[in-house]
Structure 1
Protein backbone atom coordinates (compact mmCIF):
# COMPACT_ATOMS: atom_id res chain seq x y z
CA UNK A 1 0.00 0.00 0.00
CA UNK A 2 1.41 3.40 -0.97
CA UNK A 3 1.55 6.50 1.22
CA UNK A 4 -1.31 8.07 -0.72
CA UNK A 5 -3.44 4.93 -0.24
CA UNK A 6 -2.82 5.20 3.50
CA UNK A 7 -3.66 8.93 3.49
CA UNK A 8 -6.89 8.37 1.57
CA UNK A 9 -7.95 5.59 3.93
CA UNK A 10 -7.11 7.76 6.97
CA UNK A 11 -9.27 10.56 5.56
CA UNK A 12 -12.21 8.29 4.72
CA UNK A 13 -12.47 5.12 6.81
CA UNK A 14 -14.99 5.28 9.62
CA UNK A 15 -16.14 8.74 8.54
CA UNK A 16 -19.76 9.71 7.97
CA UNK A 17 -20.85 11.57 4.84
CA UNK A 18 -22.71 14.72 5.85
CA UNK A 19 -23.08 16.29 2.40
CA UNK A 20 -22.42 15.26 -1.18
CA UNK A 21 -22.08 17.89 -3.89
CA UNK A 22 -22.03 16.96 -7.58
CA UNK A 23 -20.83 19.27 -10.34
CA UNK A 24 -20.93 19.19 -14.09
CA UNK A 25 -19.16 21.30 -16.72
CA UNK A 26 -21.18 20.08 -19.72
CA UNK A 27 -24.70 21.14 -20.58
CA UNK A 28 -26.06 17.72 -19.66
CA UNK A 29 -25.10 14.53 -17.90
CA UNK A 30 -26.06 10.92 -18.53
CA UNK A 31 -28.48 9.03 -16.33
CA UNK A 32 -28.32 5.52 -17.77
CA UNK A 33 -30.28 3.99 -14.94
CA UNK A 34 -32.07 6.53 -12.78
CA UNK A 35 -31.28 4.64 -9.58
CA UNK A 36 -27.73 3.45 -10.20
CA UNK A 37 -25.57 4.74 -13.13
CA UNK A 38 -24.71 8.32 -14.03
CA UNK A 39 -21.86 9.99 -15.91
CA UNK A 40 -20.84 13.59 -15.19
CA UNK A 41 -17.94 15.68 -16.39
CA UNK A 42 -17.18 17.78 -13.35
CA UNK A 43 -16.70 16.03 -10.06
CA UNK A 44 -17.89 15.10 -6.61
CA UNK A 45 -17.25 16.62 -3.21
CA UNK A 46 -17.86 14.86 0.09
CA UNK A 47 -18.17 16.78 3.32
CA UNK A 48 -17.04 14.30 5.93
CA UNK A 49 -17.25 15.36 9.53
CA UNK A 50 -15.27 18.63 9.36
CA UNK A 51 -13.18 17.76 6.27
CA UNK A 52 -13.66 18.02 2.51
CA UNK A 53 -12.69 15.35 -0.01
CA UNK A 54 -13.21 16.05 -3.69
CA UNK A 55 -12.38 14.34 -6.94
CA UNK A 56 -13.02 16.47 -9.94
CA UNK A 57 -11.84 18.41 -12.91
CA UNK A 58 -8.94 20.76 -12.20
CA UNK A 59 -9.16 23.54 -14.76
CA UNK A 60 -5.50 24.55 -14.42
CA UNK A 61 -4.20 20.99 -14.85
CA UNK A 62 -6.88 20.06 -17.41
CA UNK A 63 -7.55 16.72 -15.74
CA UNK A 64 -9.40 15.09 -12.86
CA UNK A 65 -7.63 15.39 -9.52
CA UNK A 66 -8.22 14.12 -5.99
CA UNK A 67 -7.96 16.77 -3.28
CA UNK A 68 -8.29 16.99 0.49
CA UNK A 69 -7.67 20.69 0.86
CA UNK A 70 -9.68 22.58 -1.76
CA UNK A 71 -13.35 23.04 -2.48
CA UNK A 72 -14.25 21.58 -5.83
CA UNK A 73 -15.49 24.99 -6.96
CA UNK A 74 -11.90 26.26 -6.59
CA UNK A 75 -10.73 23.58 -9.02
CA UNK A 76 -13.58 24.30 -11.44
CA UNK A 77 -12.94 28.03 -11.47
CA UNK A 78 -12.53 29.10 -15.08
CA UNK A 79 -15.10 26.60 -16.36
CA UNK A 80 -18.80 27.01 -16.96
CA UNK A 81 -19.92 24.66 -14.20
CA UNK A 82 -23.03 24.11 -12.17
CA UNK A 83 -24.05 22.06 -9.18
CA UNK A 84 -26.34 19.10 -9.80
CA UNK A 85 -28.91 18.68 -7.05
CA UNK A 86 -27.83 15.40 -5.44
CA UNK A 87 -31.18 15.21 -3.62
CA UNK A 88 -32.76 14.43 -6.98
CA UNK A 89 -30.35 11.56 -7.64
CA UNK A 90 -31.81 8.80 -5.50
CA UNK A 91 -28.73 6.61 -5.02
CA UNK A 92 -26.37 9.48 -4.27
CA UNK A 93 -28.77 11.12 -1.82
CA UNK A 94 -29.06 7.82 0.10
CA UNK A 95 -25.36 8.04 0.97
CA UNK A 96 -25.74 11.18 3.05
CA UNK A 97 -25.48 10.03 6.65
CA UNK A 98 -23.75 6.76 5.69
CA UNK A 99 -20.39 5.71 7.16
CA UNK A 100 -17.49 4.59 4.98
CA UNK A 101 -16.37 1.08 5.96
CA UNK A 102 -13.77 0.38 3.26
CA UNK A 103 -12.13 1.92 0.19
CA UNK A 104 -10.47 0.37 -2.84
CA UNK A 105 -8.42 2.44 -5.27
CA UNK A 106 -7.17 1.65 -8.76
CA UNK A 107 -4.25 3.75 -9.98
CA UNK A 108 -3.01 4.74 -13.44
CA UNK A 109 -0.02 6.82 -14.41
CA UNK A 110 0.82 9.40 -17.00
CA UNK A 111 3.96 11.25 -17.99
CA UNK A 112 4.53 14.73 -19.27
CA UNK A 113 5.40 14.93 -22.96
CA UNK A 114 7.67 17.33 -24.81
CA UNK A 115 7.11 19.14 -28.10
CA UNK A 116 8.05 15.94 -29.98
CA UNK A 117 5.45 13.97 -28.00
CA UNK A 118 8.21 12.09 -26.16
CA UNK A 119 7.58 11.31 -22.48
CA UNK A 120 9.91 12.84 -19.92
CA UNK A 121 10.21 12.95 -16.15
CA UNK A 122 8.80 10.64 -13.53
CA UNK A 123 5.55 8.76 -13.86
CA UNK A 124 2.72 10.62 -12.15
CA UNK A 125 0.15 8.36 -10.53
CA UNK A 126 -3.52 9.33 -10.30
CA UNK A 127 -6.61 7.44 -9.19
CA UNK A 128 -8.68 6.05 -12.02
CA UNK A 129 -11.25 4.32 -9.82
CA UNK A 130 -12.32 4.67 -6.20
CA UNK A 131 -14.90 2.32 -4.75
CA UNK A 132 -16.42 3.30 -1.43
CA UNK A 133 -18.07 0.64 0.73
CA UNK A 134 -20.60 1.97 3.22
CA UNK A 135 -22.61 0.59 6.09
CA UNK A 136 -25.92 -1.04 5.14
CA UNK A 137 -24.12 -2.81 2.23
CA UNK A 138 -24.16 0.27 0.01
CA UNK A 139 -21.36 0.97 -2.48
CA UNK A 140 -20.37 3.84 -4.73
CA UNK A 141 -18.05 3.16 -7.66
CA UNK A 142 -16.39 6.29 -9.04
CA UNK A 143 -14.27 5.85 -12.15
CA UNK A 144 -12.83 7.90 -14.99
CA UNK A 145 -14.05 6.34 -18.20
CA UNK A 146 -14.61 6.68 -21.90
CA UNK A 147 -17.58 4.81 -23.35
CA UNK A 148 -19.92 4.32 -26.27
CA UNK A 149 -23.69 4.68 -26.15
CA UNK A 150 -26.12 2.14 -27.54
CA UNK A 151 -28.66 4.69 -28.76
CA UNK A 152 -31.43 2.11 -29.32
CA UNK A 153 -31.42 0.95 -25.70
CA UNK A 154 -29.82 4.13 -24.32
CA UNK A 155 -27.23 2.30 -22.33
CA UNK A 156 -23.51 2.60 -21.81
CA UNK A 157 -21.40 0.06 -23.67
CA UNK A 158 -17.69 -0.68 -23.73
CA UNK A 159 -16.67 1.47 -20.75
CA UNK A 160 -12.89 1.81 -20.65
CA UNK A 161 -10.71 3.44 -18.02
CA UNK A 162 -9.45 6.82 -19.23
CA UNK A 163 -7.63 9.44 -17.13
CA UNK A 164 -9.04 12.11 -19.43
CA UNK A 165 -12.54 10.66 -19.42
CA UNK A 166 -15.76 11.53 -17.67
CA UNK A 167 -16.66 10.36 -14.19
CA UNK A 168 -18.89 7.34 -13.71
CA UNK A 169 -21.01 7.18 -10.57
CA UNK A 170 -22.39 3.70 -9.98
CA UNK A 171 -24.51 3.16 -6.89
CA UNK A 172 -24.79 -0.40 -5.53
CA UNK A 173 -24.05 -1.94 -8.95
CA UNK A 174 -20.38 -1.99 -9.80
CA UNK A 175 -19.79 -2.29 -13.50
CA UNK A 176 -16.89 -3.98 -15.23
CA UNK A 177 -14.63 -1.45 -16.90
CA UNK A 178 -12.15 -2.47 -19.58
CA UNK A 179 -8.47 -1.68 -19.31
CA UNK A 180 -6.85 0.31 -22.11
Structure 2
Protein backbone atom coordinates (compact mmCIF):
# COMPACT_ATOMS: atom_id res chain seq x y z
CA UNK A 1 0.00 0.00 0.00
CA UNK A 2 1.30 3.44 -0.94
CA UNK A 3 1.46 6.17 1.64
CA UNK A 4 -1.22 8.84 1.29
CA UNK A 5 0.12 12.04 -0.29
CA UNK A 6 -1.27 14.18 2.51
CA UNK A 7 0.33 12.25 5.36
CA UNK A 8 2.92 14.92 6.12
CA UNK A 9 0.17 17.55 6.46
CA UNK A 10 -1.76 15.28 8.81
CA UNK A 11 1.30 14.54 10.94
CA UNK A 12 2.20 18.25 11.14
CA UNK A 13 -1.31 19.14 12.29
CA UNK A 14 -1.25 16.22 14.73
CA UNK A 15 1.98 17.57 16.24
CA UNK A 16 0.48 21.02 16.77
CA UNK A 17 -2.62 19.40 18.26
CA UNK A 18 -0.42 17.57 20.79
CA UNK A 19 1.32 20.86 21.66
CA UNK A 20 -1.91 22.87 21.97
CA UNK A 21 -4.19 20.29 23.59
CA UNK A 22 -1.71 17.94 25.27
CA UNK A 23 1.37 19.81 26.45
CA UNK A 24 -0.55 23.02 27.17
CA UNK A 25 -3.11 21.27 29.36
CA UNK A 26 -0.69 19.54 31.73
CA UNK A 27 -1.04 20.36 35.43
CA UNK A 28 2.73 20.20 35.80
CA UNK A 29 3.70 22.59 33.05
CA UNK A 30 6.15 21.27 30.51
CA UNK A 31 6.75 24.82 29.30
CA UNK A 32 8.12 26.65 32.32
CA UNK A 33 7.91 30.46 32.43
CA UNK A 34 10.90 32.56 33.49
CA UNK A 35 11.54 32.51 37.22
CA UNK A 36 13.41 35.11 39.18
CA UNK A 37 16.60 36.13 37.45
CA UNK A 38 16.48 33.31 34.87
CA UNK A 39 14.50 35.33 32.38
CA UNK A 40 13.99 32.47 29.91
CA UNK A 41 11.24 30.02 29.14
CA UNK A 42 12.37 26.42 29.14
CA UNK A 43 11.00 23.02 28.23
CA UNK A 44 10.88 20.63 31.18
CA UNK A 45 11.10 16.93 30.34
CA UNK A 46 12.02 17.76 26.74
CA UNK A 47 14.23 14.70 26.56
CA UNK A 48 11.23 12.53 27.48
CA UNK A 49 9.51 13.63 24.27
CA UNK A 50 12.61 13.47 22.08
CA UNK A 51 13.61 10.06 23.43
CA UNK A 52 10.29 8.52 22.44
CA UNK A 53 11.70 7.76 19.00
CA UNK A 54 14.17 5.42 20.72
CA UNK A 55 11.21 3.13 21.27
CA UNK A 56 10.83 2.92 17.49
CA UNK A 57 14.43 1.99 16.85
CA UNK A 58 14.65 -0.92 19.28
CA UNK A 59 13.31 -3.40 16.72
CA UNK A 60 14.04 -3.94 13.04
CA UNK A 61 10.51 -5.25 12.62
CA UNK A 62 8.29 -2.19 12.15
CA UNK A 63 5.28 -3.81 13.84
CA UNK A 64 7.33 -4.67 16.92
CA UNK A 65 8.84 -1.18 16.90
CA UNK A 66 5.43 0.52 16.92
CA UNK A 67 4.23 -1.66 19.80
CA UNK A 68 7.46 -0.99 21.70
CA UNK A 69 7.02 2.76 21.09
CA UNK A 70 3.54 2.69 22.64
CA UNK A 71 4.79 0.77 25.70
CA UNK A 72 7.80 3.09 25.99
CA UNK A 73 5.52 6.15 25.92
CA UNK A 74 3.10 4.61 28.41
CA UNK A 75 5.99 3.99 30.80
CA UNK A 76 7.99 7.21 30.54
CA UNK A 77 5.48 10.02 30.07
CA UNK A 78 3.34 9.41 33.19
CA UNK A 79 6.53 9.25 35.26
CA UNK A 80 7.10 12.86 34.17
CA UNK A 81 3.49 13.84 34.92
CA UNK A 82 2.82 14.20 31.19
CA UNK A 83 -0.48 12.34 31.17
CA UNK A 84 -2.38 14.72 28.85
CA UNK A 85 0.54 14.69 26.44
CA UNK A 86 0.64 10.89 26.51
CA UNK A 87 -3.10 10.70 25.91
CA UNK A 88 -2.83 13.01 22.88
CA UNK A 89 0.18 11.16 21.46
CA UNK A 90 -1.59 7.80 21.79
CA UNK A 91 -4.68 9.32 20.17
CA UNK A 92 -2.49 10.46 17.26
CA UNK A 93 -0.87 7.02 16.98
CA UNK A 94 -4.38 5.58 16.67
CA UNK A 95 -5.16 8.14 13.95
CA UNK A 96 -1.94 7.20 12.16
CA UNK A 97 -2.88 3.52 12.35
CA UNK A 98 -6.23 4.30 10.70
CA UNK A 99 -4.66 6.52 8.02
CA UNK A 100 -2.09 3.87 7.12
CA UNK A 101 -4.48 0.92 7.36
CA UNK A 102 -2.12 -0.46 10.02
CA UNK A 103 0.90 -0.64 7.69
CA UNK A 104 3.77 -0.95 10.23
CA UNK A 105 6.47 0.70 8.06
CA UNK A 106 4.27 3.70 7.32
CA UNK A 107 3.20 3.90 10.95
CA UNK A 108 6.81 3.90 12.15
CA UNK A 109 7.78 6.64 9.68
CA UNK A 110 4.81 8.83 10.57
CA UNK A 111 5.30 8.38 14.33
CA UNK A 112 8.98 9.35 13.98
CA UNK A 113 7.91 12.52 12.19
CA UNK A 114 5.17 13.20 14.74
CA UNK A 115 7.60 13.10 17.67
CA UNK A 116 10.18 15.17 15.81
CA UNK A 117 7.59 17.79 14.87
CA UNK A 118 6.30 17.98 18.45
CA UNK A 119 9.85 18.65 19.72
CA UNK A 120 10.56 21.21 16.98
CA UNK A 121 7.22 22.94 17.55
CA UNK A 122 7.92 23.24 21.27
CA UNK A 123 11.42 24.56 20.55
CA UNK A 124 10.09 27.12 18.08
CA UNK A 125 7.37 28.31 20.46
CA UNK A 126 9.76 28.63 23.41
CA UNK A 127 12.30 30.51 21.28
CA UNK A 128 9.60 32.95 20.23
CA UNK A 129 8.55 33.46 23.87
CA UNK A 130 12.18 34.05 24.89
CA UNK A 131 12.87 36.45 22.02
CA UNK A 132 9.67 38.46 22.44
CA UNK A 133 9.42 38.73 26.21
CA UNK A 134 6.01 40.00 27.29
CA UNK A 135 5.20 41.64 23.94
CA UNK A 136 1.99 39.91 22.85
CA UNK A 137 2.01 41.61 19.45
CA UNK A 138 5.54 40.37 18.73
CA UNK A 139 4.69 36.86 19.96
CA UNK A 140 1.63 36.76 17.73
CA UNK A 141 3.54 38.12 14.70
CA UNK A 142 6.38 35.63 15.11
CA UNK A 143 4.02 32.69 15.60
CA UNK A 144 2.07 33.86 12.57
CA UNK A 145 5.23 34.03 10.45
CA UNK A 146 6.50 30.62 11.61
CA UNK A 147 3.17 28.87 11.17
CA UNK A 148 2.42 30.55 7.83
CA UNK A 149 5.66 29.16 6.45
CA UNK A 150 5.22 25.57 7.61
CA UNK A 151 1.45 25.19 7.31
CA UNK A 152 1.17 26.79 3.88
CA UNK A 153 3.88 24.46 2.56
CA UNK A 154 1.90 21.52 3.93
CA UNK A 155 -1.36 22.77 2.43
CA UNK A 156 -2.83 23.53 5.85
CA UNK A 157 -2.63 27.32 5.92
CA UNK A 158 -6.29 27.52 6.91
CA UNK A 159 -5.35 26.09 10.35
CA UNK A 160 -2.81 28.80 11.22
CA UNK A 161 -5.05 31.36 12.92
CA UNK A 162 -6.61 28.76 15.22
CA UNK A 163 -3.22 27.43 16.33
CA UNK A 164 -1.76 30.93 16.84
CA UNK A 165 -4.79 32.00 18.88
CA UNK A 166 -4.65 28.90 21.09
CA UNK A 167 -0.91 29.34 21.75
CA UNK A 168 -1.31 33.04 22.60
CA UNK A 169 -4.30 32.34 24.85
CA UNK A 170 -2.29 29.65 26.65
CA UNK A 171 0.62 32.09 27.11
CA UNK A 172 -1.70 34.82 28.46
CA UNK A 173 -3.40 32.48 30.96
CA UNK A 174 -1.64 32.75 34.34
CA UNK A 175 -3.34 29.52 35.50
CA UNK A 176 -1.89 27.43 32.67
CA UNK A 177 -2.83 23.79 32.76
CA UNK A 178 -5.92 22.25 34.28
Quickly name the TM-score band, shorter chain normalised: under 0.3
Which has more helix, going by share of residues?
A: 2
Which has more strand, going by share of residues?
A: 1
